[in-house]
């Protein structure tokens, strides 16, 4: 249950979206009832403040944040909650929405 050494990584990036990917701990058994599954809560930092808002909650290991401003840097963190009630935050990750120019 320890995500130490694991991290949130940035996948595909566009001028208006950033894909975030993370790993699930080994041993997750999808035949168990959902109340026994590990839940992931993705949070986005609000502007330059040190507060975060929840933008996704679920059992999947990737999420694409959309409707972002081009050329803007965003910070995200992932909270992992286990069926036992324990929780832990992954280290935060920062990414920028990019503008692509067709040539």
User: What pLDDT is recorded for position 6?
Assistant: 62
| Tokens found for residue 20 | 């975030």
- Say if residues 78 and 40 touch (Cβ distance below 8 Å): yes
Label residue 25 by pLDDT band (50, 70, 90): low
Question: Collapsing DSSP states into helix, strand and coil, what is residue 26?
Answer: coil
| Tokens found for residue 30 | 């999808």
Name the CATH superfamily, with its identifier, for domain 9-96: Immunoglobulins (2.60.40.10)
* Rg over CA atoms, the chain: 15
Question: pTM for the whole thing?
Answer: 0.80
Pairwise CA distance, residues 74 & 82, whole Å = 26
């Amino acid at each position: 249950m320890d995500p130490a050494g694991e991290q949130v990584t940035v996948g595909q990036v566009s001028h208006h979206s950033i894909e975030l990917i993370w790993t699930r701990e080994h041993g997750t058994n999808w035949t168990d009832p959902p109340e026994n599954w590990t839940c992931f809560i993705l949070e986005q930092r609000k502007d330059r403040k040190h507060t975060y808002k929840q933008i996704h909650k679920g059992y999947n290991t990737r999420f694409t944040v959309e409707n972002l401003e081009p050329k803007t840097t965003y910070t995200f963190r992932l909270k992992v909650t286990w069926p036992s009630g324990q929780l832990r935050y992954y280290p935060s990750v920062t990414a920028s929405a990019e503008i692509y120019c067709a040539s």
